[in-house]
Amino acid sequence: MDTLAEINLKGFVEEQIDPTLDLFDEIEKLKKEKNAVVLAHYYQEPDIQDIADYIGDSLGLSQQAAKTDADIIVFAGVHFMAETAKILSPQKKVLLPDLKAGCSLADSCPPHLFRKFKENYPDHLVITYVNCTAELKALSDIVCTSSNAVAIVESLPKDQKIIFGPDKNLGAYVAKKTGRDLVLWNGACMVHEIFSMEKITKLKERHPNAKLLAHPECEDVILKMADYIGSTTGLLKYATKSSEKEFIVATESGIIHQMQKENPDKVFIPAPPNNNCACNDCPHMKRNTLEKLYLCMKNELPEITVPAEIIKRAVKPIERMLEISAQLGL
Ligand code: 13P
Ligand code: SF4
């Protein structure tokens, strides 16, 4: 590193950028120079999605992080995703453009409280949604994502008692789909809890042919109305395969960029939230910008670190998820 750059209190490198620079070219140059790979979630802003080497849902991103031969993984996503990449590839440098890109769902499950909760169910297996801290993963038996949660629960014996956390909405959806009685942690995502059933109903009256696509982090009232429920990759694939032309999208708005790119002749309408704001942006995901991505690659900061002792325990439930997913062809 040829710089004395520091991360400011806001969680990212702050530095004047020459306004004549083409950041797309600069990022491409840095990728080659440093043998770096940019992994981006679908909720990132369009420019970041366009410069990424791989765009995907949480499962796809973990699979990429586990198999990449790059020296540096630049994670354009949120903190728990970059942590997962570090746990899977501890020998690599993992960068996150903004260290404060957190997650309300991960925050809703503090590990010290979850440890106590778990003690009440000593004969239960713990499945945690990947949207949680590394410390929480270290307290788990199997990690899952929205694209494999149902399959992972179904892969276990029918009489296996299970705690599922931290997302109560995904947990309730999995319980319903599998017919299992899961013990749920009471956590939720601020973006997916905000959709309004009344406003979606009115929108459907104006667009009678539109199909409602919903992420399983949404509340049950929204999921009951949905024509298709799936992870971000699932929603994208469904919209692309479908012969329908109009879709109402009940998840973070960033996914619409890829939906529109892959389906220029189709119309994608963001599902309206329960307040006066017209946007479904995740404030954590949207902390990353192209400028922060460039500065993070240039300065190799902020870097994600996870204590070795946590890595040792957290890697097992993540690897178990990847193994089950591979067996099931997911
Ligand atoms: P998926 O990409 O796995 O669908 O997860 C959505 C999400 O909320 C990520 O933060
Ligand atoms: Fe967390 Fe929700 Fe944002 Fe995903 S969309 S990062 S679950 S707050």
The ranges of the chain annotated as CATH 3.40.50.10800 are: 6-102+284-306, 105-189+314-328, 197-270
Give 42-67 pLDDT, tens digit per residue.
999 999 999 999 999 999 999 999 99
> Which of 279 and 261 is assigned the larger pLDDT?
261
The reply to whether ligand 2 has any atom less than 6 angstroms from the CB of 105 is yes
Is the pTM value of this prediction over 0.85?
A: yes
Q: Are strands 162-165 and 125-129 parallel, antiparallel or unpaired?
A: parallel
Please state the rounded mean pLDDT for residues 199-213: 97
Please state the rounded mean pLDDT for residues 130-150: 97
CATH architecture designation of domain 6-102+284-306: 3-Layer(aba) Sandwich (3.40)
What pLDDT band is residue 10 in, cutting at 50, 70 and 90?
A: confident
Q: Which of 86-95, 133-142, 276-285 has the lowest mean pLDDT?
A: 276-285
The confidence score (pLDDT) of residue 9 equals 87
Superfamily per CATH, domain 105-189+314-328:
NadA-like (3.40.50.10800)
The confidence score (pLDDT) of residue 57 equals 96
What pLDDT band is residue 326 in, cutting at 50, 70 and 90?
A: very high
Please state the rounded mean pLDDT for residues 122-126: 98
Residues 6+ apart with CB under 8 A from 252: 42, 43, 191, 192, 215, 280, 281, 282, 285
| Residue nearest (by alpha carbon) to ligand 2 atom 3 | 282
Share of residues in the chain with pLDDT > 90 (%): 93
| Residue nearest (by alpha carbon) to ligand 1 atom 9 | 58
Indicate the burial class of 264 (C-beta count within 10 angstroms; 0-12, 13-18, 19 or more): exposed
Measured CA to CA, the distance from residue 206 to residue 208 in angstroms comes to 6
Overall fold of domain 197-270: Rossmann fold (3.40.50)
The confidence score (pLDDT) of residue 249 equals 98
Q: What angle do CA 261, 41, 136 make, to 5 degrees?
A: 160
Please state the rounded mean pLDDT for residues 169-190: 98
Which of 186, 141, 118, 92 minimizes the C-alpha distance to 321?
Answer: 141
The reply to whether ligand 2 has any atom less than 6 angstroms from the CB of 82 is no
Which of 235, 325, 302, 256 minimizes the C-alpha distance to 226?
Answer: 235
The reply to whether ligand 2 has any atom less than 6 angstroms from the CB of 167 is no
What pLDDT band is residue 3 in, cutting at 50, 70 and 90?
A: low
Distances from the Cα of 159 to the Cαs of 155, 180, 237, 267, 325, in angstroms?
Answer: 12, 9, 33, 45, 21
106 and 281 Cβ atoms separated by less than 8 Å: no
Which of 164, 163, 133, 158 minimizes the C-alpha distance to 146?
Answer: 164
Give 190-200 pLDDT, tens digit per residue.
999 999 999 99
Mutate to test the pocket of ligand 1, among 79, 232, 285, 321 (most ligand atoms within 8 A of CB): 232
Residue 308 has pLDDT above 80, yes or no: yes
Please state the rounded mean pLDDT for residues 291-304: 97
The confidence score (pLDDT) of residue 2 equals 52
Q: How far is the CA of 65 from the centre of ligand 1 (A)?
A: 16
Closest ligand by atom to 191 CA: 2
Share of residues in the chain with pLDDT > 70 (%): 98
